[in-house]
Amino acid sequence: MKVNILVPYNFTANDELAIDFVGHRYAKRKEVEITLFHAFTPVPNIDTRNNPIMDKVNRGTSYLRLQQEAEKHALEAARQTLMTYGFAGHHIHCLYQPVQKDVADDIIRLWKKGKFDVVVLNRNPGNIINYFSRSISKRVTRHVEGGIGVHIVN
């Protein structure tokens, strides 16, 4: 039986634990498709028109673009890690796309659209933002419907 797994990935140590969890839990199953998903904030294009202040801003956005390239490589490295567990490379997909609404809503939309059977999330304990807003894992699990499994890795 085919299992489609969605793994939201944000390049943290907890995300590496999620990758390890998927590797240990599902590597023996042959019919597994895994999608590694990262939503990023797009870098704006800036028209500098020979303005020295805007040139400084543009240099800052160049740094952000380099950061995004590094994230793409890190997502590919996570894919390679899953391959070391024995998953076939053509069964592991990397989805690197701009945030459309917010990360939690993008994950929910993706899983509903993609017909995933399992979502593997992690919690970020001690993350100060969780004191001011609901964590992504809580928001996603609130929308879980029958038939889908959610694993939350600590």
**Mean pLDDT, to the nearest integer, of 5-12?**
91
| pLDDT at position 134 over 70 | no
| pLDDT at position 33 over 50 | yes
User: Tell me, what's the pLDDT at 116?
Assistant: 87
Cα–Cα distance measured from residue 152 to residue 104, given in angstroms and rounded to the nearest whole number: 14
Identify the CATH number of the domain in which residue 89 sits.
Answer: 3.40.50.620
Which of 146 and 137 is assigned the larger pLDDT? 137
Q: Which domain holds residue 134?
A: 3-153
Number of domains in the chain: 1
Write the pLDDT tens digit of every residue in 47-89. 666 667 766 666 677 788 889 999 999 999 999 999 999 999 9
DSSP string, 55-114: HHHHHHHHHHHHHHHHHHHHHHHHHHHHHHTT--GGGEEEEEEE-SS-HHHHHHHHHHHH
Write the pLDDT tens digit of every residue in 112-133. 887 788 889 887 654 444 444 4
What pTM value is reported for the model? 0.80
| pLDDT at position 104 over 80 | yes
